[in-house]
Amino acid sequence: MKTGLHTLLKHKIYLLLLWVLQIYFSSPAQEHPNLILTKTGVKNIRKQLGSIPMFDNTLVKVKAEVDKEIQSGIHVPIPKDMAGGYTHDRHKKNWIILQKAGLLYQLLEDEKYAMYTHNVLKEYAKMYPSLPLHPKKRSYARGKIFWQCLNDANWLVYVSQAYDCIYDYLDKDQRNYLEKNLFVPYANFLSKENPQFFNRIHNHSTWGNVAVGMIGLVMNNQELINRALYGMKIENFDHELKDNDGGFILKKDEKAGFFANLDSPFSPDGYYTEGPYYQRYAMYPFMIFAQALQNKKPELKIFEYKDGVLINSVNTLLNLTNINGDFFPINDAQKGMSYYSKELVSAVNIAYYYGNNSPSLLDIAQKQNSVRLDQTGLSVSQGIKENKRIPFSKNSIEFTDGSNGNEGGIGILRSKDKQHELVMKYSAHGLSHGHYDKLSFSYYHKGNEVMQDYGLARFVNIEQKNGGGYLKENKTWAKQTIAHNTIIQDENSHFNGEYEKGSLHHSEKYIFDTSHPKLQIVSAKESNAYQNTRLHRTMLLLEDLGFQKPLLIDIMQFVSNGAHQFDLPYYYHGQIIDTNFDFETFDTLSPLGLKSGYQHLWLENKTVIDDTKTAQITWLHNDAFYTLSTFTKAKNEILFTRIGANDPRHNLRRDPSFIIRKPQSKNDTFITVIETHGTYNPVTEIAKNSSSSIKEIKEVKTDNENYLGWKIITKDDNEHTFVLCVTNNQKETQHSIYLNNSPIQWIGPYYYSKN
Amino acid sequence: MKTGLHTLLKHKIYLLLLWVLQIYFSSPAQEHPNLILTKTGVKNIRKQLGSIPMFDNTLVKVKAEVDKEIQSGIHVPIPKDMAGGYTHDRHKKNWIILQKAGLLYQLLEDEKYAMYTHNVLKEYAKMYPSLPLHPKKRSYARGKIFWQCLNDANWLVYVSQAYDCIYDYLDKDQRNYLEKNLFVPYANFLSKENPQFFNRIHNHSTWGNVAVGMIGLVMNNQELINRALYGMKIENFDHELKDNDGGFILKKDEKAGFFANLDSPFSPDGYYTEGPYYQRYAMYPFMIFAQALQNKKPELKIFEYKDGVLINSVNTLLNLTNINGDFFPINDAQKGMSYYSKELVSAVNIAYYYGNNSPSLLDIAQKQNSVRLDQTGLSVSQGIKENKRIPFSKNSIEFTDGSNGNEGGIGILRSKDKQHELVMKYSAHGLSHGHYDKLSFSYYHKGNEVMQDYGLARFVNIEQKNGGGYLKENKTWAKQTIAHNTIIQDENSHFNGEYEKGSLHHSEKYIFDTSHPKLQIVSAKESNAYQNTRLHRTMLLLEDLGFQKPLLIDIMQFVSNGAHQFDLPYYYHGQIIDTNFDFETFDTLSPLGLKSGYQHLWLENKTVIDDTKTAQITWLHNDAFYTLSTFTKAKNEILFTRIGANDPRHNLRRDPSFIIRKPQSKNDTFITVIETHGTYNPVTEIAKNSSSSIKEIKEVKTDNENYLGWKIITKDDNEHTFVLCVTNNQKETQHSIYLNNSPIQWIGPYYYSKN
């Protein structure tokens, strides 16, 4: 007995300890929801419903949307279509609705949402085991539900959240059925069966990693979680393989997984090397997985990783928008995408909650007028309700590129009233979505493009246009240098348009200085785009009372070891109002060139400058006048072009440009000023200030080839004189040179005076 | 003594009578202001200042504007520049400020405004007697202050009001000085010295008449008043002379003066034959002079003249705007002009006050957010304050053209939700501002042009573009038929582009019927545009649940006595998304033709249809999808063009078109459907409903050449069948024919069924 009692007691103590241990160690992992929503969070939200307007409003909208979908029944068709087609759009809708239905179940405690979610998931689980690869063979990584793994990953990132929300509603058998038939094979398909998709440094892989990681966290599957965080070991991979966008799939000895994707494409400033359009796209999986990790693995301190790069990157992304909130279209980017996108709603909410509750984020959230239906959205709604919002003011700012911040960057100059915005690009290539446009820029006035970057050649999700995918003109036009506002040598794109070469190099920042009260300056050099040619562009935003609006001064210097043709295009919008030179008009239009994008440009007009002159072109766009003034020499040419040649499917916009051409030049400098002036009102029909204030631009000879000098002379005879030291960018260095035989002295890399 | 007393008494009685007579007869003419403002009106306004928000707000703005000008000093430069140049703009500003300063003097009783007005007028009076004709010799009627009499007349219409306001502030000598040196010679210059300007049926003359009439009323100068109202007798005038726009200056035996200009260009519906852009321009002098006449010569009952045509015309003008309030650009018209213009503020205020205080006019006034600073503006402000406003709802409506309403007209079809608006033109030529575009149309969706009319080729008041005047491309392009969405035979414009011929004819309305619950129809015929060719266009707006948005059905029939080439262009905006036919792309672009505007079109693509087919083109514009479906036969062609050839000064916009061509045809019908469907959202990147719902358009043979039949078959196999009787438009007529061997019967000119 004693032994028996002892044994029994031991056994009971054992069970008790086991139970304690289970509670202590397992409970956080087992009591659902615990991925994005948490038990405590949900309780907190439920208590406050009805008293937090933005949250309540979002909830009403989401409920209406989901209720309507539930009424329409369950639709899980056999996958068949490309993006824009029915099955694609339907499965996409499913992931959106499932995630929301899960939330509604938790917040409203109405089982119909859990039942619906379960029923849809069962349909997927029924279909998945026998599902072949998607019939469309267009992707380097074909999915099963969609034509590419990327979309399959999207699905799982969202659906994991839905599963977490109804996890406790299901019994063990129901969960086993779903996990065995759907979630585990799904996660393995995205990773083990598609290493070329999963194991990269690329936004695709981020989605893949996070998909696997999220479902891993829900199922508490440590193997999947590790795979997501640290990637897979792969042997015998062909490292020369490229993806659909022409990017390398897997470089040798490269790290992979979520952490690697945080390490490498993000600079310490939070700039994502592919550019803001894809940063926006990747932001959702980055932030949502970070939130999940913070909930389930707080010991990773994910939001502190790399000095808080995730929170920084949200701030960076918001700064990479124009006055309307549209992202600057750097690299492959569809215009019109903005901080109103759902990814940015998530990013702003999560950054607010896990960052320092920065009150300026509430300004963006208020504009977005929508929040996440979780703790983060709750805290944003409360912040807004409590009037904590302060303006999110976007100023001139620079972002470094490269994982260590030493691979060039992006410089943004904004005028004092924020109506003029210049973006200059001197970054690294930007992976497979990069364009060949070193030292390019775009320029905005009141959110309108004064000088545009073309963006991508693609109609995302419009099925008729190549299934919504990239068009071949993306490669033949949009990525080429001539499609951008930057210099082209001998009608060849930078790095000869070769990804392998372009990926090796980045431009070098030279100056970014906004300390002068009237003059902001950004300057960078590029020495690898063309062999034996050095390029150096300096852009200055001058705000002087002598001009109605800011002046953009553009100094593009090239130094080569042989004579070449150099072209500098400016892609404007609008109607030419006046020029101070005559130009030739053609009876028939021909393409400007044969390759590197030149084959897509019709040459509309041409002029050959006969002697040194300030050539001027005035145009009207959106009821404002602009003048480009450029210092030209004999034999320089100005070409008026329009996109559209060799475009048999009308895939390109018919946009115009001015191209300034210096034929057979070795060393020279394009000196150009873009001036905003005047307005036109079609209702009063009053034209104000329709002419340029600039009389002349002059080159100013210095006694030293380390310096570039130029002058802008206005019609009221003010002279603005500039000197730039091109070989020393130190702020403290003292310079003294002779300018037109007069000595001048100054400190720092540039000199400016007005008289 | 007795006699003496008697004489004295008699004299006193005489004086008393004289005084009574003077008061009785002269007082209304002598107590100023009495032209636009009245003594009583001013008193009434002064009493209410501070309690009528819209009036008060306008007053604050006007005061700030005038105060700023007064501070800047007096500027009366010697005339020198074209429109857009300094002296032009300055004198224009003077007339604006003087008129406002006069009002302020009356309303605020602050003498500084009277003094300023007087001082400026003295400068003009000093300059005027020795002023030669304006140095620019561009006008058929050169002015003195401006390059054309028209602007001189504008000046006097406004300045007369200012003079009236300070009339009693001046003493007799001061008035005499101004009248003798400035106003009388000014009025004579505009009339006697420029009969070719003054004595026409034309908006120019209306301005001239009113200028002379207004100053005549202020000065109580009956001779000038009569001249203004009834014109001058002119002998020995060359009736073949034309003005700068190519219009006849003076037809033989034509009446002239204000009444003649009310009689002739206005139809009884209040449609002004030049079109709404010029109607808007003429509206100010018409309405302001009517107000002055009502104040000073109420016996003329001017607002009841011709069944109240002036009040009607304001309603008409407001109906001739799209959903944004922009005027439909019929004939010469600069786009963007709208009911927000100051002329329409005046027109709406005056029509409200002298009409029946129509509460829907308050809706427009509220949008305008500005009122006249007189009794009319006061009553509008009060109406708004008292919440009397009801919506001004624009419906489908037809306006006849011609002084008796029997010269064709303009038909406007609006969808039920007002988002789609069709304007079809079957009017008379429209005087010198008319275009050669019989049976043309333009079409709007949410205020965006789906199918545009080009408008004019001019940049009004932009000096660099031909001094702001008409460009030669207005004649070579904008007026030509090919610049419009209508049919062209053998690449010749209607009436061979000859004003003399075009002015003789008008199209004939055939049907305007909006009584059907799903189908609205407008139809008209044109038999004179080409000799021996009859044209008949019918446009139908179909709203059926089978289509997401309304369908515009366009039936263009031609019957000729010989074989010709017929072109039907559609000027769209946006990006081509898809076509269901292949087309040719060219290595070089050439102009489509040699003359009649064809020389301005680049031919971008071409296809020759090989067999009967419904050709379809889908495009994307402002985030909406559109599809044009057209029934084509073998050898029909579809051409894609773009404006811009032979345009050496970039005076034309680079807008695209589809042209459907039927080569060598005698009798045939273009059957085309324009479908709005779907949306694109660049933030969510979701494309909804991006494909047409139409599977096929079929010609349906009838057993009788008096009927046209066609069918629209949708992708879900609904068939919409239409029959149009082309020879009898009577509503009551019963028709019975065989359609595909089945008998059908109906009443009225068209048949429609869906199954």
CB neighbour list of residue B545: distance below 8 Å, 6 or more residues apart: none
Are B462 and A680 within 8 A, CB to CB?
yes
Rounded to 5 degrees, φ, ψ at B368 are -65, -30
Inter-chain touch B682–A602, beta carbons under 8 Å: no
A587 and B591 within 8 Å at the Cβ level: the answer is: yes
Domain closes at, from B635, B655, B690: B690
**Is residue A64 within 8 Å of A247, Cβ to Cβ?**
no
> Does residue A278 carry a pLDDT above 90?
yes
> Does some domain include residue A122?
no
A310-338 tens-digit pLDDT: 999 999 999 999 999 999 999 999 999 99
Contact list in A for residue B649 (CB cut-off 8 A) is: 576
The first and second tokens of residue A486, run together, are 């930057």
B687 in contact with A, Cβ within 8 Å: yes
Cα–Cα distance between B337 and B277 in angstroms, integer?
Answer: 7
- List the 182-221 stretch of A: residues with Cβ below 8 A of B: none
Tell me whether residue B46 is in a domain: no
pLDDT value, residue A593: 98
Q: Quick one: B608 exposed, middle or buried, by C-beta within 10 A (0-12, 13-18, 19+)?
A: middle
Predicted pLDDT at A26: 47
Q: Which of A587, A647, A682 sits opposite B334 (nearest CB)?
A: A682
For residue A679, what is the nearest residue in chain B, using CA coordinates? B462
pLDDT-based confidence at residue A234 (cuts at 50, 70, 90):
confident
- Shared domain for B529 and B655, answered yes or no, is yes
How many domains is chain A built from?
Answer: 2
Alpha-carbon distance of B133 to B142, in angstroms, equals 7
The pLDDT of A151-156, averaged and rounded, is 98
Mean per-residue pLDDT over chain A, rounded: 94
The pLDDT of residue B243 is: 74
Is A578 an interface residue toward B (CB < 8 Å)? Answer: yes
Given A461, A648, A684, which is nearest B585 (Cβ)?
A648
CA angle A176, A180, A185 (to 5 degrees): 150
What pLDDT is attached to residue B702? 86
Buried (b) or exposed (e) across B540-558, using 16+ Cβ within 10 A? bbbbeeebebbbbbbbbbb
CATH of the domain at A733: 2.70.98.70
Among all residues of chain A, which has the CA nearest to that of B681?
A: A336
The catalytic position among B91, B420, B433, B600 is B433
- A485 backbone dihedrals φ, ψ, rounded to 5°: -85, 65
Three-class SS string for A146-194? Answer: CCCHHHHHHHHHHHHHHHHHHHHHCCHHHHHHHHHHHHHHHHHHHCCCC
Mean pLDDT of A718-747: 95
Are B121 and B13 in the same domain?
Answer: no
Put simply, the chain B residues between 108 and 147 with a CB less than 8 A from any chain A CB are none
Q: Could A585 and B648 be called an inter-chain contact, meaning their C-beta atoms sit closer than 8 Å?
A: yes
A192 vs B253, higher pLDDT: A192
pLDDT greater than 70 at residue A281? yes
CB B485 within 8 A of CB B453: yes
List, in sequence order, the alpha helices (H) in A301-341: 305-319
B330 CB neighbour count, 10 Å cutoff = 28
Does A435 have pLDDT greater than 50?
Answer: yes
Q: Is B77 exposed, middle or buried (0-12, 13-18, 19+ CB in 10 A)?
A: middle
Q: Which of B169, B186, B277, B278 is catalytic?
A: B278
Q: Which residues of A touch B589 (CB under 8 A)?
A: 588-589, 602
Residues of A with Cβ-Cβ distance to B463 under 8 angstroms: 687, 690-691
Position B463 scores a pLDDT of 92
Residues contacting B691, CB < 8 A, separation 6+? A463, A464, B578, B618, B625, B627, B677, B678
The residue-averaged pLDDT of A434-448 equals 98
User: Are B19 and B122 contained in the same domain?
Assistant: no
Q: How far is B693 from chain A (nearest CA, A)?
A: 15
pLDDT band (50, 70, 90) for residue A89: very high
Residue ranges of chain B whose pLDDT lies below 70:
1-5, 7-8, 11, 14-30, 249-250, 252-253
Task: Tell me which long-range contacts B96-100 makes (C-beta under 8 A, separation of at least 24).
Answer: B96/B158, B97/B65, B97/B66, B97/B69, B98/B158, B98/B159, B98/B162, B99/B158, B99/B159, B99/B161, B99/B162, B100/B62, B100/B65, B100/B66, B100/B373
Q: What is the 3-state secondary structure (H, E, C) of A613-642?
A: EEEEEEEEECCEEEEEEEEECCCCEEEEEE
* Average pLDDT for A218-228: 97
Query: Is the domain of B129 the same as that of B15?
Result: no
The answer to whether position B712 is within a domain reads: no
A627 pairs with which residues across the strands? A618, A675
Spacing of C-alpha A683 from chain mean position: 38
Interface contact A577-B459, CB threshold 8 A: yes
Q: What pLDDT score does A28 carry? A: 46
* Catalytically annotated residues of A: 278, 433
Give the percent of chain A with pLDDT over 70.
95
Task: Give dist(CA A629, CA A712) in Å, integer.
Answer: 10
Across the interface, whether the CB atoms of B687 and A468 are under 8 A apart is answered: yes
Residue to substitute from A334, A466, A575, interface B, most B β-carbons within 10 A:
A575
**Who's near B215: CB < 8 A, 6+ residues apart?**
B156, B160, B163, B183, B186, B187, B221, B224
* B6 and B122 fall within a common domain: no
State how far residue A450 is from chain B, nearest Cα, in angstroms.
18
In percent, the amount of chain A with pLDDT more than 90 equals 90
Q: Which of B84, B341, B656 sits opposite A683 (nearest CB)?
A: B341
> Closest to B461 (Cβ–Cβ): which among A642, A648, A685?
A685
- Which long-range contacts link A454-458 to residues 24+ away (Cβ below 8 Å)? A454/A329, A454/A478, A454/A483, A454/A484, A454/A571, A454/A643, A454/A653, A454/A655, A455/A329, A455/A332, A455/A333, A455/A334, A455/A335, A456/A329, A456/A332, A456/A333, A456/A334, A457/A651, A457/A652, A458/A332, A458/A334
Given CB atoms, is B335 within the 8 Å cutoff of chain A?
yes
Residue B172 forms part of a structural domain? yes
Same domain, B131 and B3: no
Integer Cα distance of B76 and B81 in angstroms: 13
Tell which B residues from 586 to 615 touch A, by Cβ distance under 8 Å: 587-591, 602, 604
CB atoms under 10 Å from CB of B491, counted, come to 18
SS3 A353: helix
Contacts of B647 in chain A (CB under 8 A): 585
Chain B residue numbers touching A464 (CB-CB < 8 A): 577-578, 618, 690-691
Residues of chain B found within 8 Å of residue A684, distances taken between Cβ atoms: 341-342
Of B468, B649, B682, the CB nearest to A334: B682
Half-sphere exposure of B492 (CA within 13 A, CB side): 13
Cβ separation A587–B590 shorter than 8 A: yes
pLDDT, position B242? 74
Q: Is B618 on the interface with A (CB under 8 A)?
A: yes
B444 located within any domain:
yes
Report the residue from B84, B590, B653 with minimal CB separation from A690. Answer: B84
Among the listed residues A246, A184, A252, A249, the one whose alpha carbon sits nearest the alpha carbon of residue A212: A184
Query: In A249-329, where do the E strands start and end?
Result: none
Judgement on whether residues B16 and B144 belong to the same structural domain of the protein: no
A93: closest chain B residue by CA: B686
The answer to whether position B699 is within a domain reads no
Chain B residue with the nearest C-alpha to that of A338: B683
The sign of the torsion formed by the CA atoms of A142, A147, A150, A153 equals negative
In a domain, A570, yes or no: yes
**pLDDT in the model for residue A702:** 86
Residue B742 lies in a domain: no
Cβ neighbours of B88 (radius 10 Å)? 25
Residue B388, amino acid: K
pLDDT of residue A24 exceeding 60, the answer is no
Nearest to B588 among A590, A654, A686 (CB): A590
Distance from the Cα of B99 to chain A's closest Cα (Å) equals: 17
B11 noted as active-site residue: no
Q: Return residues 33-92 of A near B (CB < 8 Å).
A: 84, 89
Closest Cα of chain B to A172: distance in Å?
37
- Give the residue among A237, A216, A218 at the shortest CA–CA distance from A227: A216
Average pLDDT of the segment spanning A605-622:
97
B663 touches chain A (CB under 8 A): no
CA pair distance A525, A557, nearest whole angstrom = 9
For A335, nearest residue in chain B (alpha carbons): B682
Closest approach of chain B CAs to the CA of A506, in angstroms?
A: 30
Tell me, what CATH number does B209's domain have?
1.50.10.100
| Residue B547, domain extent | 398-690
Chain B residue with minimum CA distance to A692: B464
pLDDT for res B83: 85
Q: Which pLDDT belongs to residue B685?
A: 94
- In which region does residue A73 sit, left (phi positive, over 0), alpha (psi from -120 to 50) or beta (all else)? left
- Quote ipTM for the complex: 0.92
CA distance A255 to chain B (A): 32
- pLDDT, residue B535, reads 98
Task: Note the pLDDT of residue B20.
Answer: 59
Put simply, the answer to whether A589 touches B588 (Cβ < 8 Å) is: yes
| B85 in the same domain as B20 | no
Q: A587 to chain B: which residues are within 8 Å by CB?
A: 590-591
CB atoms near residue B8 (< 10 Å): 11
Chains A, B: CB pairs < 8 Å: 117
Q: What is the pLDDT of residue B28?
A: 46
CB contact under 8 A, B650 and A340: no
Q: Token pair 């943004």 is at which residue?
A: A412
